[in-house]
Amino acid sequence: MNSNTINSPQTLSDRTILVCQGRCCRKDGSKKLLTMFQSQTPETIKIVPCGCLGQCGNGPNIVILPDKIFYQRICPQDVPIILNHINT
């Protein structure tokens, strides 16, 4: 493995947002959140619908990779705030 790869700073293109589409999160509105993230996120950040993230009852849930930052109980007005935080 190349040490330059390990030590190089992460770019926004390295980011992925997983949006839980498990049954509990969908019941709490994660489908709408997925649509919002897909329409508001720069193309350099991947948006991926995923199965249960194991945080049922705290949803809707997302996780930002590679940082492994979990956000719980996300509502539509949180989407631009989260995206702004990622971009800074």
Q: What is the DSSP string of 19-86?
A: EE-SHHHHHTTHHHHHHHHHHHS-TTSEEEEES--S-TTS-S-EEEETTTEEE-S--TTHHHHHHHHH
Q: Compare 4 and 48 and report the one with higher pLDDT.
A: 48
Residue 29 lies in a domain: yes
Q: Compare 1 and 54 and report the one with higher pLDDT.
A: 54
pLDDT score at 2: 27
Question: Range with the lowest mean pLDDT among 3-7, 10-14, 62-66?
Answer: 3-7
pTM strictly above 0.85: no
Residue 4 lies in a domain: no
Number of domains in the chain: 1
**pLDDT-derived band at 45, boundaries 50, 70, 90:** very high
Instruction: Residue 41: give the domain boundaries.
Output: 11-87
Cis peptide bond prior to 66, omega within 30° of 0: yes
Residue 23 lies in a domain: yes
pLDDT at 11 over 90: no
